[in-house]
């Protein structure tokens, strides 16, 4: 009887240790963003960045980094999902400047469509018991601007893009870079300009001039918002107000994501 008790205790302890290890692997580093009101959009930007309008947000947390390869691997191992395919020879032929790269743990996970990013958030919420999701477009822009600490920079954390962003002129179109290897913005968040495009929760559409509180984007439409630019795109795409809206099932080696946690 004593031996059975010891055996049960051993396996319970081992299970708890494994669970804690897995939890530590997947629990992301988050940055608290104090809510507030800001002017969303850009009078001097592209047509889809207008009109500038007031947006008020509640407090939230946002990923300090883009979701990494290591974090996405943990998700795939836990769910049986497959990692996205890494670049093949045909892709390199179309991108002659690119260097060979595979799934390196500290790189942002890329080649992710909106649906896959959303499923990751659902899994993380279920696994941790907390409320994770993709950021709304308003949450994304507010955090990229630096929240209540914003200094109204053009890029996320500075007007000197080379200090904060991997984009085509600094990556030389060779591929993504390890997250957090350049400067953070005013809130201590990394890579909100450049490295990987980041999916947002919202459907893509025109802005309204009306003031909004905790907006979640258009009610209709099929496209989804991406923000931040990437290692393969020009500097203009990495501005904090620049936006685009591809199909949710579309992806490439520029598309990744970041998560938020709502209290």
Q: How far apart are CA 22 and CA 34, in angstroms?
A: 29
pLDDT at residue 8 in the model:
47
Whether the Cβ atoms of residue 52 and residue 138 lie closer than 8 Å to each other: no
Extract the tokens encoding 83.
């990692």
- From start to end of the chain, where are the E strands? 30-33, 36-40, 53-57, 60-63, 132-133, 197-203, 212-213, 224-227, 243-244, 255-257, 260-261
Q: Contact, 182 vs 190, CB < 8 A?
A: yes
- What's residue 259's pLDDT? 98
Cβ distance 263 to 67 under 8 Å? no
Rounded CA-CA distance 97/178 in Å is 19
Q: 3-class DSSP state for residue 17?
A: helix
The pTM of the full predicted model, rounded to 2 decimals, is 0.89
Q: Structural domain boundaries of the chain?
A: 27-261
Helix axes of 114-128 and 69-79: crossing angle, nearest 10 degrees: 70
Nearest to 153 by CA among 195, 187, 186: 186
As its CATH architecture, domain 27-261 has Alpha-Beta Complex (3.90)
Measured distance CA(234)–CA(125) in Å, rounded:
34
For every one of its 263 residues, what pLDDT tens digit does the chain have, with 9 covering 90 and above?
Answer: 555 555 444 443 433 333 444 455 568 999 999 999 999 999 999 999 999 999 999 999 999 999 999 999 999 999 999 999 988 888 888 877 777 778 999 999 999 999 999 999 999 999 999 999 999 999 999 999 999 999 999 999 999 999 999 998 887 777 899 999 999 999 999 999 999 999 999 999 999 999 999 999 998 999 999 999 999 999 999 999 999 999 999 999 999 999 999 98
């Amino acid at each position: 009887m004593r031996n059975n008790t010891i055996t049960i205790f051993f396996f319970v302890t081992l299970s708890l240790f494994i669970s804690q290890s897995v939890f530590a692997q997947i629990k992301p580093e988050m940055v608290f963003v104090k809510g507030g009101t800001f002017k969303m959009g850009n009078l001097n930007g592209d047509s889809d960045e207008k009109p500038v309008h007031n947006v008020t947000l509640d407090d939230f947390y946002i990923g300090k980094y883009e979701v990494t390869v290591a974090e996405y691997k943990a998700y795939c191992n836990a769910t049986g999902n497959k990692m996205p395919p890494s670049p093949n020879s045909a892709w390199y032929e179309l991108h002659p400047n690119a260097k060979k790269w595979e799934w390196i743990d500290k790189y942002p996970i890329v080649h992710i469509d909106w649906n896959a990013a959303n499923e990751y958030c659902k899994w993380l919420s279920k696994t941790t018991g907390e409320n994770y999701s993709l950021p709304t477009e308003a949450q994304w822009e507010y955090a990229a601007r630096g929240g209540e600490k914003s200094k109204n920079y053009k890029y996320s954390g500075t007007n000197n893009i080379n200090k904060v962003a991997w984009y085509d002129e600094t990556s030389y179109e060779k591929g993504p870079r390890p997250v957090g290897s350049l400067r953070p913005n005013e809130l201590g968040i990394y890579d909100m300009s450049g490295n990987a495009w980041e999916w947002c929760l919202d459907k893509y559409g025109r802005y309204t001039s009306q003031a909004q509180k905790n907006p979640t984007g258009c009610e209709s439409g099929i496209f989804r918002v991406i923000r931040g630019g990437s290692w393969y795109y020009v500097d203009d795409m990495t501005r904090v107000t620049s936006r685009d809206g591809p199909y949710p099932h579309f992806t490439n080696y520029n598309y990744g994501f970041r998560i938020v946690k709502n209290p």
